[in-house]
Amino acid sequence: MTVAAALVHLRRLGYTFRVCDGRLQVRRPTPEPPETAEALAVLRAHPDEAADLLAWPEGCVESEARFGHPVARLYPFLRFGQPGEPVRTPHGHGRLLQVLDGEAVVDVDGERVLRVPAAEVRPARDAGRVSA
């Protein structure tokens, strides 16, 4: 199970997450569902990755869990036949145009189209580090 899949699974069971002072905090539902051991073990083993994923919109995390690849978290930012949602890269803010294997094509500031490593593309808005 991936970290994204663990977060999606636990959210569906009523768990909530947040990052406070750099630490992942988990609020468990009452009563606690029995089918959570594997997902919780994944989060315990990879708390930094889980905290990073919480900065992304929930739909992006669900996309990564569904397709099983980290670049899939960018898919919800794509728009068919038009520039995608705003994103930020080390080269500036722009609009996502395409997602390739490990790369993203971004129209940066409406002035230049760049290929950048997909891992360097983030949501333009800070989604916060709180997930309900």
- Chain segment 68-125, per-residue pLDDT in tens: 999 999 999 998 877 788 999 999 899 999 999 899 999 998 889 999 999 999 998 7
pLDDT of 132: 30
Query: Is this model's pTM higher than 0.85 or not?
Result: no
What does the pLDDT look like over 12-66, one tens digit per residue? Answer: 999 999 888 888 888 988 888 888 889 999 999 999 999 989 989 999 999 999 9
In this predicted structure, what is the pLDDT of residue 131?
33
HSE value, Cβ hemisphere, 13 Å, CA-based, for 83: 12
Q: In this structure, which CATH number among 2.30.30, 3.30.1330, 3.40.50, 3.90.1570 belongs to the domain 69-123?
A: 2.30.30
- Distance CA(42)–CA(62), nearest Å, equals 16
Domains of the chain by residue range? 3-55, 69-123
